[in-house]
Structure 1
């Protein structure tokens, strides 16, 4: 009996030892292989829509966790768009690595294999990455032509209905409710689209955890883009009386028509004209609610990553394709050059990335692509115009990435340059010039362009903007519209 028991104990020790060794070997393989990369992309999310980044009204514990666990770039920008769908230009830039006007040229040629081979996922695939995409696409190429694996490919925006526009006109205007599934939108198909994308991502991570190849995931949510729909419990988290009116609120923006963001622009039709404090509060309430619902979906993705033991060897990027006004400057949409519509949250979490660090340097959100390539060990091709910020994220001292930030909307509607704490905005059609001192006026309320003290600043920024136009292949001749 003693002999039998001794043999049993010996076998168990041998078994546990082998199991422990197997775990160590598996862990070592995980550490030695190329890191996984997850790109989380929201839609219409302004920098101001994250609790940890200064908005104490919004509830975003998962995004706050990304801020705490990684490095945040507090001044990340989108260049703008060539039409009202700003997301199209933003996504074309991030997939191709080109600046806006060259990205527009490329976006019509993705039927050519050589152009497909130059896209972000194809470059990752060459380095041995399993590539995956789910969610909003809105790129002029088939997702399954450049990704190994594809979940749901969702349209540019959820199907909306007339009831979602020009509302609310008053407190009696109660037909629309964000949780009413009969209005379609995010509810079309039965499951909220944010949950659909989350489920896709969780499923892929679960499968990927059983494989040795590193993976690159492009997870693109439609939220918090309108129609701003979410389950009732999320809307109930926000009382209208607790939602503040933005400091830049105004009933109507005086240059809306000349800048190409007038009453006929789809985004601007969401709320009544002139804007009322009540309609802005309701729009912001629903915007906050769908953002919190999105935050919960991201939480589930991060949880499965940790549960499967993949987090320690994974870089996570979170950003949005552009921001949104939702009542600032009398505007509802994103077709403008103000920070609320161009500036986005951008966080990176991963191996050797400092925790809780914030970097104020101006960058473009599309720099995520170049950063991911560096992480994957891919030499940046010459055609990629954006820059990796990996060195900036990891160290306190790094070369400045950009001398200035460029912004544009449509071929001739708006141009912008942001440099040295100032922003110059031009509306060529009405010959309007706006100059803001961003250090002393972060909400961009006080136009200094008519002040004699700032005429040299206007000229300096104008001339530098002309040079940036040349560098980027911008077709607009600003000198024809302005005699500065």
Structure 2
């Protein structure tokens, strides 16, 4: 009888292994058409699940985009409402989640799941404490050297004082995987679990261990079609830390080296995720477990003459999103528009968990069930007070502003036809025939900014010309 109850619970509410990477852009997976990067484990998850190929991040208001992106994933709410701080451009606002907002793991915990975290939590410790009843090798920083990782053990008090932090020398991706595998192997409870595994790969320093460091021939790595030696105008954050990781103007040889190192980190990460998958199989719970793979944002690595994620081009705002497990169709690549605030509602739907009333994201479950071709007509992304973008899946409008705070940025727009120009190489905004598309997208962006309580909602979307 106990075993029957356990099977019934697993069918209604599957275990969840939620994996989130750092800096993994949406196209850098073999199954998604990238012919260079080697990702056999992610390819397998994609083949046995559903990949949401058109998922974009909501964005961020400081250079550290990872913290607000992770907040969007875990709250399903706009950063303008989920986070606190009188000055919405300061670093506190970029990381601290409002105390009255319920998070994905917190909601799981309240629904009876055992919630356990491993790895990076780039948001405030109070939101972590109310979300997880267990954890291991917890990183409360944005980044570190991969063989010098400052971590905490789980602290039931939720305080995590600095004096209890210690350094781990095992490579970060292996360190976090070791802890995730141990949790799965040791799990003995009848209730389902929610295991949150947050890696710091493939974020720099891109120092993958061998044999991965030598996996890619740096001289033979192809440059992307949108490689540029320098970006043609000031985006508003041209001297942020990420942009200083390579010389300016960009050198083709150096960018090839960066891409090779980036792919090496991804392939190593892929292999470590394989260990998590194998642990689930060895435990006999693989088919009863929902696996979710995503990332906090993408990365340029030489595209458009940029290196970082502090922009709203596709390479930086489009992320991988793979679901595999109960209730998820197999071998499906879905191109419907989605935002990272939709991830929480989708996980909740697949686990039969009620959402908090304040959730703004939309569940993708109707698409999985074949009841809908899409749940969004547009998606938008933000960066600081200098960039906004809107896309309907084909046409994409980027609006650039000049920041009064930093006196950087350019008052202008770009228009791309993503169907015919997925690498965003041809700005079509100056062509008179496209005036209607610009007007339509500009109107949609203005309405979205107002509905999202965007700090720039009262600024014109189309630049004022003299």
1:370-381 alignment, distance < 5 Å: 370-381=345-356
Report the Cα distance in structure 1 between the residues aligned to 2:6 and 2:191, rounded to whole angstroms: 14
Report the Cα distance in structure 2 between the residues aligned to 1:121 and 1:332, rounded to whole angstroms: 32
Question: In the alignment, what sits opposite 2:225?
Answer: 247
Is 2:264 the partner of 1:283? no
Q: CA deviation at 1:483?
A: 3.0
- CA deviations 1:267-289 (Å, max 9, x no partner) are 00111111010110010111011
Question: Any unmatched runs of 5+ in structure 1?
Answer: 1-20, 161-177
Are 2:388 and 2:399, in contact at CA under 8 Å, matched by a contact in 1?
yes
Change (3 A) 1:313 1:278: same
Q: CA deviation at 1:26?
A: 8.5
Scaled by the length of structure 1, the TM-score of the pair is 0.85
Question: In the alignment, what sits opposite 1:299?
Answer: 274
Report the Cα distance in structure 2 between the residues aligned to 1:354 and 1:466, rounded to whole angstroms: 36
Is 2:400 the partner of 1:398? no
Question: In the alignment, what sits opposite 2:389?
Answer: 416
Are 1:45 and 1:323, in contact at CA under 8 Å, matched by a contact in 2?
yes
Is 2:169 the partner of 1:212? no
Change (3 A) 1:275 1:186: farther
Query: 2:112 aligned to 118, 128, 133, which one?
Result: 128
Is 2:267 the partner of 1:267? no
SS at match of 2:144: coil
Q: CA deviation at 1:375?
A: 2.4
Change (3 A) 1:26 1:98: closer
Are 1:38 and 1:317, in contact at CA under 8 Å, matched by a contact in 2?
yes
SS at match of 1:385: coil
Question: In the alignment, what sits opposite 2:414?
Answer: 434
Query: 1:62 aligned to 33, 41, 59, which one?
Result: 41
- CA deviations 1:8-31 (Å, max 9, x no partner) are xxxxxxxxxxxxx99x75874665
Question: In the alignment, what sits opposite 1:328?
Answer: 303
SS at match of 1:223: strand
Query: 1:223 aligned to 201, 218, 237, which one?
Result: 201
Q: CA deviation at 1:186?
A: 9.7
- CA deviations 1:174-197 (Å, max 9, x no partner) are xxxx9xx6xx57996320011111
Scaled by the length of structure 2, the TM-score of the pair is 0.88
Report the Cα distance in structure 1 between the residues aligned to 2:413 and 2:331, rounded to whole angstroms: 38
Q: CA deviation at 1:235?
A: 1.5
SS at match of 1:37: strand
Query: 1:52 aligned to 21, 31, 40, which one?
Result: 31
Question: In the alignment, what sits opposite 1:146?
Answer: 131
Report the Cα distance in structure 2 between the residues aligned to 1:406 and 1:307, rounded to whole angstroms: 41
Are 1:186 and 1:192, in contact at CA under 8 Å, matched by a contact in 2?
no
Report the Cα distance in structure 2 between the residues aligned to 1:244 and 1:57, rounded to whole angstroms: 8
SS at match of 2:460: helix
Report the Cα distance in structure 2 between the residues aligned to 1:480 and 1:313, rounded to whole angstroms: 47
Are 2:149 and 2:168, in contact at CA under 8 Å, matched by a contact in 1?
no
Are 1:251 and 1:275, in contact at CA under 8 Å, matched by a contact in 2?
yes
Say what the alpha-carbon RMSD is for the aligned residues. 2.4
Question: In the alignment, what sits opposite 1:237?
Answer: 215
- CA deviations 1:349-380 (Å, max 9, x no partner) are 01232211111101013322111212232222
Larger Rg: 1
Q: Which moved more, 1:353-362 or 1:105-114?
A: 105-114
Question: In the alignment, what sits opposite 2:77?
Answer: 98
SS at match of 1:134: strand
SS at match of 1:58: coil
Are 1:320 and 1:344, in contact at CA under 8 Å, matched by a contact in 2?
yes
Report the Cα distance in structure 2 between the residues aligned to 1:350 and 1:56, rounded to whole angstroms: 26
Question: In the alignment, what sits opposite 1:365?
Answer: 340
Is 2:53 the partner of 1:71? no
Is 2:441 the partner of 1:461? yes
Change (3 A) 1:423 1:71: same
Report the Cα distance in structure 1 between the residues aligned to 2:427 and 2:462, rounded to whole angstroms: 20
Task: Work out the number of aligned pairs and report it.
Answer: 434
SS at match of 2:84: helix
Higher-helix-fraction structure: 1
Are 2:12 and 2:352, in contact at CA under 8 Å, matched by a contact in 1?
no
- CA deviations 1:72-92 (Å, max 9, x no partner) are 111111021111011111011
Are 2:446 and 2:461, in contact at CA under 8 Å, matched by a contact in 1?
no
Q: CA deviation at 1:266?
A: 0.4
Q: CA deviation at 1:105?
A: 3.0
Report the Cα distance in structure 1 between the residues aligned to 2:363 and 2:69, rounded to whole angstroms: 17
Change (3 A) 1:254 1:84: same
- CA deviations 1:391-447 (Å, max 9, x no partner) are 21232x41631121111111x210111115100001111211100111111110111
- CA deviations 1:303-335 (Å, max 9, x no partner) are 000110111111111011111111100000011
Q: Which moved more, 1:188-197 or 1:78-87?
A: 188-197
1:159-238 alignment, distance < 5 Å: 159=144, 184=148, 189-208=168-187, 210-238=188-216
Question: In the alignment, what sits opposite 2:430?
Answer: 450
Question: Any unmatched runs of 5+ in structure 2?
Answer: 86-91, 152-166, 403-409
Question: In the alignment, what sits opposite 1:483?
Answer: 464
Change (3 A) 1:131 1:480: closer
Are 2:75 and 2:341, in contact at CA under 8 Å, matched by a contact in 1?
no
